Structure 1
Amino acid sequence: MDFDFSPDQTAFSETVERFLDANPDPEVFDVTRENMAQVVDTPARRAYMRKMADQGWLGITWPEEWGGQDGDGVYEYLLNEALAGRGGPQIGKGVGIIGKTLLAHGSDKLKAEFLPKILNNEVEFAVGYSEPEAGSDAASMKLRAVRDGAGWRLNGQKTWTTSAHFAEWYWVGARTDPDAPKHHGITLFLVPMDHPGITVRAIWTMGDERTNDVFFDDVWVSDEYVVGELNKGFQYISQALDLERFTMFSFAPIQQRLNVLTEYVKEATRDDEPLREDPIVRKQLATLVTEAAVARLLGLRVVAAAAGGGKPPTVEASGYKLYATELSKRLANASMDIASPGTQLRVGTEDAPMTGRADSTYRYTVLDTIGGGTSEVQKNIIARRGLGLPKNF
């Protein structure tokens, strides 16, 4: 099997790398934020993504009629991997989750209002699925939307909304038919984050990043801001989660962390003996390098499945997300074990092993196995949709 990229794809990747080399910015690129580095949460990061827009790189796979290039998804993959490898922001929710769902299901009004802003990176979105009693099982959401005139009145709570404190719009699911089965009766809405009925409260994670609780108190939303058909929101969410599970957890940061550990092992000593000659350490590194190669190919499998058309790459995306995030944890554990108790020093500590990188890797990667659906949820998806096992096995 040929795993090489085509000449055109290789040329595009080289073009991206040259652009990044010519436009470095320490306020934008920070590998120590691990996978949270992808978030476009500061003025500097937003400005940088506008440079991406100027290159025409934010709508590669979109139809030409909406400003895109009708290109293959592999180009988005290459772009995101290049950005992620340097700890930079990625094309993310707007182009992927929101943009592609609007292209498939949105009204002409929503397309006209939001798609040009997304392509120009003029708007940021928060995504609201999780609730206190509906985490990975998004179908259990209870945020109520009750018909009120030419719109809907929303009341309830969302949680773990990472972008709520800086986004302009909320892409949020709410239950519009409480009598329907839980996978039905959910509708997607677009709600301005500055609505007076919305309250955002910070939650600080063990990775030193902010996520949020979001409270809805009589938030009225016009019918014009309903996404797609009423009561079909969960089906749209499920399709979008395939994108989220893949794009949220790029392979490049895993490779970058592995390179950091490998370089440390090359130079470090233990009891005056080179660490690289320790047979246990060598075995650990060989295993991690092999598993990293597997993760990369699982990611390419998602790209290939998406390019083939037909059904969304649900099983492939879950397989990659499960393997890659669990590998990230194994890599973090190995970094802590190999480099001794000094790895408990905070990231940025100059005299710590790997300047404290093991600390940030360890704390962040715990979160990775939860975001976008826990590892247990991914196993269930693979079991049911990939292996055809019954729901209650």
Structure 2
Amino acid sequence: MDFTYPPEILAFQREVRAFIQDHWDDEVMDVRREGMAQLVDTPKRREFMKAMAAQGWLGMSWPTEYGGGGMDGMYEYVLNEELAAVGAPYIGKGVGIVGKTLIRHGSEELKQEFLPQILNAEIEFAIGYTEPNAGSDLAALSMRAVRDEENGGWRLTGQKRFTTSAHFAEWYWLIARTDPDAGSKHKGTTLFLLPMDQDGIQVTNMPTLGDERVNEVFLDDVFVPDRYVVGEVGKGFYYVSEALDFERFTLFTVSAYVKRYEVFRDWVRTAEVDGRPLRDDPRARQVVARLATAVEVAKVHTLRTIAKAAAGEVPNIEAAMFKLWTCQLGQQVSDAMLELAGPTGVLRRGSPDAPVDGRFEHALRYTVVDTVGAGTNEVQRNIIARRGLGLPVNNGV
């Protein structure tokens, strides 16, 4: 298999790099955010996304009939990797989760309303899946959507948590239980879109170990008209499962992990421990070599996922393998740095003796966010075991 980029992809990569340099802003590009630049919202960030939209880079792999570029998914992959490498926000939820799901399952009315706004970077979404008692087991969700026949819609009541972007997003993409008597917890759930600024929605800050803001969102009798039901009533879990496959490789890139590894490798080259060069330590050299190999494996996992998506298929197993491997890689790099650095490795940013200004202490805390978003590591292992290896599944689980 040839892992080199074809000439047209290399040309696009150079174009993206030139664009980044032309639009460089320290407020927008910050590698210390460890690939989570999409969790912040500033006027400059919105301007940067608008500039990308003007290039036609949002929705490049969407069908042309919906305003997309009809291009190979490799272009989106290269774009995201280059953005992640400099800590810039990338195409994310609107293009990779909401847009692709609407194209596959949404009504024409929803497509006409939302797809142009996504392509023009005019809208931000929050994703409402996780609940206090429905995290790894999303099918256990309890948020209720009760039919309102008189007004032609649904009334939603319940709580979501760990919702990123809810404090600045314009629209909420969330799943609720519409039929508690469906017989299976995977059935009887429905996917909705609703504006975040309406009465009955309360957003509360939930700080994380990685210093990023996520949110709890409380809904109290919030009305959603039928036109904002995504797909068929009762099939929400299946749509969300598919959307998560797209999320796992549109919000989690390899570049952020590669850059973290390169910073660690370069530190090993120059650091001293107990007065001796760390690069001469056999244990340190072994760790660097092992992680270098893991980085290359992560790149191949990504390419397999992109190839599946580019072929018009849902990269279910491939995305789970990619997400699991890269999240573990991020933890392994941070663990290795702190282990080799010794006591000074746990010093935080701004501490005079902190190696690499405390980046790896921060990165280790950040990996908690990585291992939860888009499904925990345990969820990824279950997907691989059941759908990839064909291991038995208990009915009703």
After TM superposition, is the score higher than 0.5?
yes
Cα distance between partner residues in 2 of 1:268 and 1:50: 42
Partners of 2:347 and 2:353 within 8 A in 1: no
Cα distance between partner residues in 1 of 2:364 and 2:297: 21
Q: Kindly tell me the number of residue pairs found equivalent between the two proteins.
A: 392
Partners of 1:344 and 1:359 within 8 A in 2: yes
Residue of structure 1 equivalent to 2:176:
174
Cα distance between partner residues in 2 of 1:182 and 1:40: 34
Q: CA deviation at 1:187?
A: 0.6
Residue of structure 1 equivalent to 2:18:
18
Residue of structure 2 equivalent to 1:202:
205
Percent identical residues: 57
Residue of structure 1 equivalent to 2:289:
286
Q: CA deviation at 1:366?
A: 2.2
Counterpart of 2:223 (choices 220, 224, 229) is 220
Partners of 2:273 and 2:341 within 8 A in 1: no
Q: CA deviation at 1:42?
A: 2.0
Residue of structure 2 equivalent to 1:36:
36
Counterpart of 1:382 (choices 381, 384, 387) is 384
Partners of 1:198 and 1:219 within 8 A in 2: yes
RMSD (Å) for aligned C-alpha atoms = 1.3
Cα distance between partner residues in 1 of 2:283 and 2:93: 41
Q: 1:50 to 1:40 in 2, by over 3 A?
A: farther
Counterpart of 1:361 (choices 360, 363, 368) is 363
- The worse-fitting range, judged by mean Cα deviation, of 43-52 and 77-86 is 43-52
Q: CA deviation at 1:353?
A: 0.6
Partners of 1:95 and 1:118 within 8 A in 2: yes
Query: Amino acid of the residue matched to residue 255 of structure 1?
Result: V
**Structure 2 residue ranges without an equivalent (≥5):** none
Q: What is the correspondence of 1:1-393 to structure 2 with a 5 Å cutoff? A: 1-39=1-39, 41-149=41-149, 150-180=152-182, 181-310=184-313, 312-349=314-351, 351-392=353-394
Q: CA deviation at 1:351?
A: 4.1
Q: What are the superposed Cα offsets for residues 49-78 of structure 1, whole Å, 9 maximum, x if unpaired? A: 100001000010112122111011111000
SS of aligned partner of 2:60: coil
- The worse-fitting range, judged by mean Cα deviation, of 344-353 and 163-172 is 344-353
Cα distance between partner residues in 2 of 1:50 and 1:285: 39
Q: What are the superposed Cα offsets for residues 230-249 of structure 1, whole Å, 9 maximum, x if unpaired? A: 11111110111001112222
Partners of 2:93 and 2:250 within 8 A in 1: no
Partners of 1:40 and 1:90 within 8 A in 2: no
Cα distance between partner residues in 2 of 1:242 and 1:282: 36
- The worse-fitting range, judged by mean Cα deviation, of 271-280 and 346-355 is 346-355
Partners of 2:172 and 2:193 within 8 A in 1: yes
Q: CA deviation at 1:107?
A: 1.4
Partners of 2:136 and 2:378 within 8 A in 1: no
Q: CA deviation at 1:348?
A: 4.6
SS of aligned partner of 1:298: helix
TM (norm. structure 2) is 0.96
Query: Amino acid of the residue matched to residue 281 of structure 2?
Result: D
Cα distance between partner residues in 2 of 1:161 and 1:360: 21
Query: Amino acid of the residue matched to residue 326 of structure 1?
Result: Q
Partners of 2:146 and 2:156 within 8 A in 1: yes
Query: Amino acid of the residue matched to residue 174 of structure 1?
Result: A
Cα distance between partner residues in 2 of 1:382 and 1:344: 34
SS of aligned partner of 1:135: coil
Cα distance between partner residues in 1 of 2:39 and 2:15: 23
TM (norm. structure 1) is 0.97
Q: 1:162 to 1:186 in 2, by over 3 A?
A: same
Q: 1:17 to 1:350 in 2, by over 3 A?
A: farther
- The worse-fitting range, judged by mean Cα deviation, of 88-97 and 101-110 is 101-110
Cα distance between partner residues in 2 of 1:53 and 1:367: 28
Q: 1:355 to 1:198 in 2, by over 3 A?
A: same
Query: Amino acid of the residue matched to residue 154 of structure 2?
Result: W
SS of aligned partner of 1:160: strand
Query: Amino acid of the residue matched to residue 69 of structure 2?
Result: Q
- The worse-fitting range, judged by mean Cα deviation, of 376-385 and 363-372 is 363-372
Cα distance between partner residues in 2 of 1:38 and 1:360: 18
Partners of 1:39 and 1:90 within 8 A in 2: no
Q: CA deviation at 1:40?
A: 5.0
Cα distance between partner residues in 2 of 1:169 and 1:78: 28
Query: Amino acid of the residue matched to residue 257 of structure 2?
Result: I
Partners of 2:189 and 2:237 within 8 A in 1: yes
Q: CA deviation at 1:272?
A: 2.0
Partners of 2:93 and 2:251 within 8 A in 1: no
SS of aligned partner of 1:58: coil
Query: Amino acid of the residue matched to residue 80 of structure 1?
Result: N
